[in-house]
Structure formats: C-alpha cells, structure tokens
Amino acid sequence: MKQTAVVVAPGRGTYNKAELGYLKTHHPSSTLLAKFDGYRLQNGQSTISELDGAEKFTTATHLRGDNASPLIYTCGLSDFGSIDRSRFDIVGVTGNSMGWYTALACAGALDPFGGFTVANTMGTLMHEHMIGGQLIYPLVDENWCEVPGHRAWLLGEIGAINSKPGHFLGLSIDLGGMFVLAGSEAGLAAFELAIPAIQGRYPMRLPGHAGFHTHLQLPVSKLGFDALPSNIFKQPALPLIDGRGAIWHPHSSNPDQLYDYTLGHQVTEFFDLSAAIRTAAQELMPDVIIVLGPGNTLGGATAQALIKCQWRAWTNKSDFQTSAKSSPRLLSMGTADGRRRVTTM
C-alpha cells in the first residue's frame, strides 16, 4: 500500500563542501543537465556540471547566488524525479525560500526548464545586486523546545534596532527552531553586538546571502518581473504550499496570481516555513514528509517545525528521534538512509 507524502524542497545554503559531486553521484545520467548547462553557457556562466564536478568546493564560487540557486534547484528537482511513485503518493509540495522555485516545478506550475530559468534568473539578480545580508539565531533549546519568552524578547530587540536611524533589521524566515534575520549592514552588526552569543556560533552570518524576503529586495523583484514572462506559469498539478502557509490547489489556481506572488510577495516579504510545514501536516495529513537534497540542514528545521505543531504527537527532539528509529516519518534524501527509503530500489 502506498504512503502519502508531502515533499519539501531546500533553499540556499544547502549545497556545501560535503555535497560536492551530488549530481554526479546520485544523478549521473540526468537528461535535464544538458539543457540546463546549455542555458548557462549561452549566458556566459559556469555550467551546473562544472560546478558539481569541481575538484574543490570554494565558498567564493559555490555559495554565490548565481551559482548556488540553479545548482540547488537542479539537485532538488532531480531528487524529486527519483522518488519511487510505486511506494509514495505525493499529495503536496512546498519549499524553503528559493526552494519555492523547485516546488513550483515539482508541482507542475513550471516545467523543469521554466523552473530552472526562474531559479537562475533570480539567483543571478540577487548576486549582482547583493542588497543587505542575513544571519540566523536559535529560538529553541537543545531538545528543540522553544524557550519560553525567547521569541517575544528577540522580536523586541529586532524592533529596537530597526527603530534606530540608518538601521534596518527584520524577520526574513521562520525556519522551524530558528529565526533568519535580514537587514542592512548596520542592522545586522547592531544585532550581533546586542544579542548574547550562544552555542559557540550564533548569531551566524550567512555568506553570499542578501537581505532576502524583505523590502530590501524590491529592486530585485522589479527586475525579476521585467526578465521573466508570466506565460511560463500554469496550473499546478499538485497542491502547492507557499511561504505564507496558503495552498495553491490544482484546477482552481490563477497562474497570473502565482506569477505575481512568486516574483513579488515571495521575494520582498517574510517567508514563514513553519506555517508552510504546519499547513502541510494539518491540512494534507501525509503519512510521511520527504525532504529533497542536497544536504540535510532542512531536515532539522522541518522536524522542529513539526514539533512546534505537535505532528505525530512529537513535542521535542527525543520524541522525533524515537519515532525515527521505529517508524520514520521524516525522510531526508540528503542522507543515505533517507535516500534508500525513498528512491526506486
């Protein structure tokens, strides 16, 4: 009997040193790659094959937006195509941040090349303009439980910094057990000075990231509308959950509105991954949730978002780990075990 599944696509920051060669290892005969490589060559950019097949991972090359976005998109979409449909009935798709572009293609609202064009175009525009930056800071303790009062305190600190002349700081993404903040250099630096450092690495700047999902990206949004036509968007074939937690249903969605959301609100407004995961869990009620590769950093964030809404009666990290041992419900294709459970044997 098939299991129902919601698929989650990862965003920026998921293709790192450990993922070098991901496509060559897991998708050596990809039919999509040649077309994607041709598009990149025509635009004077390094091919996806060259980036994935490089001898060495370098931050300056692999984490810049014009390379990272299409590389992650290609990995995610290729993973989606390798899910064993004889064992899984996919009932919905979502994605984190630029993973929304991958989700659009997985759900059929964009064809594979259209999705690549959007991911490549927006990643390139973000890199070329590089307005603002991002950092992350935890909301949860070591057992993945939200610390009482911590969210309100952080929001208060963010508001205080944002009220200072010449400073901007705002919420970018609710990433399960983390806040991703975006801001101007002055705003980010003020947060780093005001907030206690914890766990030896937070607050952590995200290299190569602009101030995504805030009004700082209004110029990039406008350029995206200018560069990308609306007619590449169509009705999704699968329910598609956006960064507000709203569902775009097959046969009843307006492709023009989907285009407007993708290049407008999705670029310039807060992206609530926790709301998207909550909607997926509570409205679509899947047997399992499958997180596409590359990497597994989104697996933890997804688990934390599921704990927050107490999916499968999970209330903390221990509950999640116990479930993972006896009856895994969160399957990450960026891990060997998760991949084995999901792909065609």
- Give the tokens for residue 5: 């599944």
Q: What is the CATH number of the domain that holds 296?
A: 3.40.366.10
Q: What residues have CB less than 8 Å from 55, skipping those under 6 apart?
A: none
Average pLDDT over residues 95-124: 99
Residues 99 and 152 in one domain: no
How many domains would you assign to the chain? Answer: 2
1 pLDDT band (50/70/90 cuts)?
confident
- If one counts every other C-beta atom within 10 angstroms of the C-beta of residue 148, the result is 8
Estimate the share of the chain in helix, then strand, then coil, as percent rounded to the nearest 5.
50, 15, 35
Within 130-217, residue ranges assigned H as helices are 150-162, 185-194
Which residues make beta-bridge pairs with 193? none
pLDDT in tens, 78-99: 999 999 999 999 999 999 999 9
Average pLDDT over residues 191-200: 95
pLDDT higher than 80, residue 344: no
pLDDT in tens, 280-310: 999 999 999 999 999 999 999 999 999 999 9
Average pLDDT over residues 186-213: 96
Single out the residue of 305, 225, 307, 302 nearest to residue 260, CA to CA. Answer: 225
Residues 189 and 313 in one domain: no
The mean pLDDT value of the chain amounts to: 97
Buried b (16+ CB within 10 A) or exposed e, 229-250: eeebbbbbebbbbbbbbebbee
Amino acid at 293: G
pLDDT in tens, 31-68: 899 999 999 999 999 999 999 999 999 999 999 999 99
209, 244, 265 - which closes a domain: 209
274 pLDDT band (50/70/90 cuts)?
very high
pLDDT given for residue 338 in this prediction = 96
In the numeric block, the tokens 């023009």 are attached to 256
pLDDT given for residue 132 in this prediction = 97
Residue 93 near residue 7 (C-beta atoms within 8 A): yes
Residues 126 and 137 in one domain: no
pLDDT higher than 90, residue 103: yes
Residues 61 and 116 in one domain: yes
Residues 125 and 245 in one domain: yes
29 pLDDT band (50/70/90 cuts)?
confident
CA torsion sign for 106, 324, 137, 18 is negative
337 pLDDT band (50/70/90 cuts)?
very high
Residues 326 and 223 in one domain: yes
- If one counts every other C-beta atom within 10 angstroms of the C-beta of residue 143, the result is 12
**Counting beta carbons within 10 angstroms of the beta carbon of residue 152, is it exposed (0 to 12), middle (13 to 18) or buried (19 or more)?**
exposed
Q: What residues have CB less than 8 Å from 140, skipping those under 6 apart?
A: 146, 147, 177, 178, 304
- Give the tokens for residue 97: 């941040």
Residues 240 and 328 in one domain: yes
In the numeric block, the tokens 């293709």 are attached to 15
Residues 167 and 194 in one domain: yes
The reported pTM is 0.97
Amino acid at 258: L
Average pLDDT over residues 62-75: 97
Residues 201 and 222 in one domain: no
Residues 14 and 110 in one domain: yes
Residues 107 and 140 in one domain: no
Residues 224 and 191 in one domain: no
Report the alpha-carbon distance of residue 66 to residue 72 in Å, rounded.
11
pLDDT given for residue 31 in this prediction = 86
30 pLDDT band (50/70/90 cuts)?
confident
pLDDT in tens, 234-254: 999 999 999 999 999 999 999
188, 209, 230 - which closes a domain: 209
pLDDT higher than 90, residue 220: yes
Centroid of chain to Cα 289: 15
8 pLDDT band (50/70/90 cuts)?
very high
Average pLDDT over residues 305-324: 96
- Percent of the chain past pLDDT 90, that is, above it, reads 97
End-to-end CA distance of the chain: 16
- Percent of the chain past pLDDT 70, that is, above it, reads 100
In the numeric block, the tokens 């990450």 are attached to 332
157, 192, 209 - which closes a domain: 209
Report the alpha-carbon distance of residue 272 to residue 89 in Å, rounded.
25
Task: Tell me the residue range of the domain where 30 lies.
Answer: 3-130+216-342
Q: What is the CATH number of the domain that holds 194?
A: 3.30.70
pLDDT higher than 80, residue 190: yes
